[in-house]
Chains A and B, each alone.
Chain A
């Protein structure tokens, strides 16, 4: 992964420098600009997942925690994730976020599969909670880094 990243970064650096000498009014852009809708969508999905985990933790082993009670919830969660993925794919230079949102969709489907097996013990959710935190923090960190980059560019131009 890092090898690919380094190679890609080196090529982009070279291409960027060459382009900067050729193209008028130049600045380079390798990553999509910050998108508030994307950030809000990630946060909203995180809120839903956190609510679900808290509910199952409290009720694990009872009828209230059974998967059948959450079919509609998962449908809505998958719709929200699909919309995030579609938007991410539609934005230019946004392949990383698009791939991340695709992985988030896979992770949510896995979470649903885990729930279908019957979670009778809240201890099973400990690794799930850690994973959720890693995923959402990683995705938000990238979106906020885009925002900082954009804000910095605007400030300098002013």
Chain B
């Protein structure tokens, strides 16, 4: 395939914790969705009317979402799409929807797809409609588990005990990403962060600290995708999707008792790189799904930058800043950007587009030509994350 579909427009709204008492913007998911779509269409030089008979890909959101949500979004926007895609992949939403949209465009079904994530987890305005997993409701919460926080703690504990990884290794990821966030006008969290601050931060579930984990923000993000024919005339430099891979319910080793330190990104990134005809060494940056620092460390191993278990030592000796050998999460990632609910994966996607267009200003990776965006979503029982995906993006 290599590069017959491109991202030709993107939109990212400012983020908010919806603290009206601090003068923050308070908006609903519908408003964020509309705002992001409008920004992305404008960049692409397109109007709402151009989307008639095209594709609309919508994430499920923390709030609100009805059972039949994508059609509600289409009505809200006044779109008359031929194709509606709906993502229920959690942190993997953006990557998965972009892959599904690319496949639809390649098949000739549509010429354009707008993929949008708008979410307002900080302002639920009424009962949250989404439910957790049956196994969480029945076999985790009554057993005393704290969902994501417990599972992240368990994965990091396993990595430390199996391979000698240290908390400082996780800390370096948080600190590097904060340095990036401080250079990103869109990032929500910009307070300086040192490794000492990290070490002092509150432990939620050993070894997971507050600064290892994300916090929710409200926000909206969108991209416009088109086939090569339409993309070549776009006002902005097209960023091509040159490879992709995904896997669901991946288990390393025995599926009953898998190795939780290996994620499905191992398979997704391998397939994506193969499709793009690249090796991991050809990547100019990584935008890695980072609901917690441990996920970043595991993915660095899974993508092949070092052997499984060497991630801690790799992180220690490697400059992961935008100037470094392996730039990681150059916009600050979710850890410092904040997690806009189920739209989170779009944060990594828009940063990759920005880097490849050369628009990342004071955090620009020099001469960035190819980068990887990963997505991880859904807490699996007895494993790590259920949905894994990877995109290779590039400019020609």
A and B form one complex: no
